[in-house]
Amino acid sequence: MFRINDVFYLNDQRYRILVDLTDELVWIAIEDDKAFPSIIAKRELREAINAEILKRADDPFKSLNFIVIDDGATDKIIRDENYELIKPIITEPEFYLPKVRSAYINKILLEKKTTKQTLYRLLRRYWQRGQMPNALIPDYKNSGGKGKKRIANEVKLGRPRIYSLGIGTSVDELVEKLFRIAIDRHYLKEDKGTVAYTHHRFQDMYKAYFPEIEESEIPTKSQLIHFLKREYSQIEKIQKRSTEINYNKDIRPLSGTANLHVLGPGSRYEIDATIADIYLVSDSDRKDIVGRPIV
């Protein structure tokens, strides 16, 4: 009924389950920047469900499962350094106990060049965002206005061109509309069309509206990519560019474990089959190949 990393609404606050303690659970408030893991009885949660004050909620950080960072990238280096810094605490089975957690923090402060505020910030981020290394990726979205739509007046937004010809065109409502049509029609498909192909199709539509437009004044592929990142989440792009079968089989995040609902040894059996890398021949004629056996 209650699974690790499940998110619930209670009193207008979202909570994530961190640990299952048989009759109790450890959870943490997701949106509280001063929250710590706390223990709550499963009985209380069942009563809250029956009273219709506890409800399941969508995980606001589920897209972190799909982020893949290239080796050597700054984000990956920072993420891995953050993980190693708090690893002694998050791998401690009783991390939810204040005395245990405090002892580890004091030890890290003596061995590493860091602060208590930094450790608490990283720990909360790790627990609140799904207990995965990607939860520790730097929050660049909170600086520089990334992801926010800017309104252009008469001057085109962005860095002025240095090497390319022309001034460029701002992304107005018409351009956004054509961007969205091209992306939905050619990029977010199971055949996985490329961004370059999608931009070519956008160019065809844009030229139909403005047949006299100079090539250098057509909205660029970079502007299309910026729009794609701003308006479409990573999980939405992955889902629409994959078949439903492949997504559910190979891509979607797993919400449980293999021993979920297992009562004890021998209560569940699993079998598998594979085609052996040999060929069987007929008893009556050894030149007659029957086929490969299934083990």
Phi, psi of 181 (to 5 degrees): -60, -45
**For residue 164, what are the domain limits?**
147-254
pLDDT tens digits, one per residue of 90-121 = 999 999 999 999 999 999 999 988 899 999 99
pLDDT at site 131: 93
Q: Are 205 and 182 in contact (CB under 8 A)?
A: yes
Q: Quick check: 165 pLDDT over 80? A: no
Task: Note whether residue 290 is domain-resident.
Answer: no
> Does 267 reside within a domain?
no
The pLDDT value given to residue 217 = 84
In this structure, the answer to whether residues 27 and 91 fall within a common structural domain is no
- Mean pLDDT, all residues of the chain: 85
Identify the domain boundary among 254, 272, 287.
254
- What percent of the chain has pLDDT above 70? 88
Kindly state whether residues 106 and 93 are assigned to the same domain. yes
Q: Do 155 and 221 reside in the same domain of the chain?
A: yes
Give the end of a domain, one of 37, 60, 83: 60
pLDDT of residue 112: 87
Give residue 269's pLDDT band: very low, low, confident or very high (50, 70, 90): confident
119 shares a domain with 84: yes
The Cα 93–Cα 104 span in angstroms is 12
> Do 204 and 124 lie in a common domain?
no
Query: How far apart (Å, rounded) are the C-alpha atoms in residues 150 and 169?
Result: 14
For range 218-230, the mean pLDDT: 90
Q: Kindly state whether residues 153 and 233 are assigned to the same domain.
A: yes
Closest C-alpha among 274, 277, 161 to residue 220: 161
203 within some domain = yes
- Asked if residue 279 belongs to a domain, the reply is no
- 161 and 101, same structural domain? no
Which DSSP symbol is given to 136? G
Same-domain check for residues 168 and 197? yes
Residue 294 lies in a domain: no
Do 161 and 222 reside in the same domain of the chain?
yes
Residue 240 in any domain: the answer is: yes
Given a cut of 70, whether residue 157 has pLDDT beyond it is no
Q: Is position 124 within any domain?
A: yes
Task: Mark whether 132 and 53 lie in a shared domain.
Answer: no
Residue 129 falls inside a structural domain = yes
Two structure tokens written together for 114: 């860091």
One domain for residues 47 and 98? no
E strand or H helix that includes residue 27: strand 24-29
Q: What is the pTM of this model?
A: 0.50
CB atoms within 10 A of CB 186: 18
**Structural domain tally of the chain?**
3
Q: 71 and 115, same structural domain?
A: yes
Reported as a pLDDT band with limits 50, 70 and 90, residue 44 is: very high
